[in-house]
Structure 1
């Protein structure tokens, strides 16, 4: 794993997509839908994000494969949100609730992948040897995380996907669950934090996630209405 060479660092976040025609069309349609509904469409997505953030369990309800989402590293080490996700996976693994664990995250800056940095943190904090720990190191966003995890979880293309728990920060759960289910996962959410920390920073994160989710969902609905199979195939 450690012998993997770091590829060229790609730009993260919304800005990396602004040269993509389909995504720009989705953004334009989303803006029209936002205006046409006087913002109510966005409010509905805020409610969806907040509902899942507040209602999701803080531990795996049953034994499954865990998919742990990474975050951009700081000095090649997991930052606070990522450490919470890793700690949740470790606690569930120690409790016998993880059949195996995949750490998701490629090279987003620095000399190691997010997944490799997560592996080092877990081994340093005490990882149960009986639970297999695997790395997905080729992605830099949540959709790529799940696409690559889908390949890793199957020995053959026609094999069924095992049920999984998605382990991530509460603000991030709604988007990950939406993407996972569109990609064919039998997935459920597991929150990294014991509860939602109602701070200004966290409120901003929830608001941003609602915007991302509205953009993705509206784009997929537009693709279905217009028969744009190329756009729809992005999340199938």
Structure 2
């Protein structure tokens, strides 16, 4: 069995496509006097503020992991898992896909999340799958797509609910749509917190989202196929 891949954000600094997108994004921010970034920040805030905590109809529930604290889910991750458990108990879904590889501990985020759900009384008749090979949100969704298609890329994807923290929803929704999902955002928290920590997370997510979106748009504009295909 291959050794698990651990999250290492510094690996992106060795990626020429990522650096290319960063240069384009920085130039856009400078030329706009920061207005481009403010536009993305408002988009991230709107998604975070107005996303529901449930969804219409039956969907596969995708629960995004988060870096573990001492091999256990941290506060944000527990909120996501608690929302998932409440939705299962309310009969919203019978199929849960826990996303998250190894982030430094002995077990994956998906494994830790599953163990927490079982401790909280998750029923055994719920179909739970673990996606444990990813190290970021894009890989979460790409591997989830493979699991849902059963290895057949021609298989039609079922509609999914994307459950994560409010600050993280805009990025997950963008990536899911780029990968061909019919995705519905679902917030872990009952409402958007306005703490200094949360505002900083929203600002960080706006930066990530701008970096991804402008990088892809630029790649499509100039015909950089390899760069555009990074999110497909």
Task: Please state which band the TM-score falls in when normalised by the shorter chain.
Answer: over 0.9
Q: Does 1:211 align with 2:207?
A: yes
Unmatched runs of 5 consecutive residues or more in structure 2: none
Alpha-carbon shift at residue 140 of structure 1 (Å)? 1.0
Q: Does 1:124 align with 2:119?
A: yes
RMSD: 1.2
Point out where structure 1 has 5 or more consecutive residues left out of the alignment: none
Q: Which structure 2 residues correspond to residues 101-140 of structure 1 after superposition, within 5 A?
A: 101-140=96-135
Q: Which residue in the other structure is 2:167 paired with?
A: 171
Q: Which secondary structure state, in structure 1, belongs to the residue aligned with residue 71 of structure 2?
A: coil
Contact in 1 for aligned 2:66/2:77 (Cα 8 Å): yes
| Cα separation, 2, equivalents of 1:220 and 1:46 | 18
Residue 28 of structure 1: how far off its partner (Å):
0.4
Please state whether the residue corresponding to 2:66 is helix, strand or coil: coil
Matches within 5 A, 1:32-51: 32-51=27-46
Give the structure 1 partner of residue 73 of structure 2.
78
Give 3-state SS (helix, strand or coil) of 1:38's partner.
Answer: coil
**Aligned ranges 1:17-36 → 2 under 5 Å:** 17-36=12-31
Question: Are the structure 2 counterparts of residues 215 and 110 from structure 1 closer, same or farther at C-alpha, using a change threshold of 3 Å?
Answer: same
**Alignment-derived partner of residue 144 in structure 1:** 139
- Give 3-state SS (helix, strand or coil) of 1:101's partner: strand
Separation (CA, whole Å) in 1 of partners of 2:160 and 2:171: 15
1:196 maps onto 2:189 in alignment? no
Aligned residues: 231
How many angstroms apart in 1 are the aligned matches of 2:39 and 2:15? 26
TM-score, normalisation: structure 2: 0.97
**In structure 2, C-alpha distance between the alignment counterparts of 1:28 and 1:114, rounded to whole Å:** 32
Q: Who is 2:4 aligned against?
A: 7
Partner Cα separation in structure 2 for residue 5 and residue 120 of structure 1: 23
Give yes or no for contact 1:220–1:232 (8 Å, CA) kept in 2. yes
Could you say what secondary structure the match of 1:153 adopts?
A: helix
Match for residue 84 of structure 2? Answer: 89
Deviation, 1:8, is 4.5
For residues 44-101 of structure 1, the C-alpha deviation after alignment (integer angstroms, 9 at most, x for no partner) is: 1000000000000012333210000000001110000000001111110111101300
1:184-233 per-residue CA deviation (whole Å, 9 max, x = no partner) reads: 00001000000011100000000000000000001001101110000011
SS in 1 for 2:180: coil
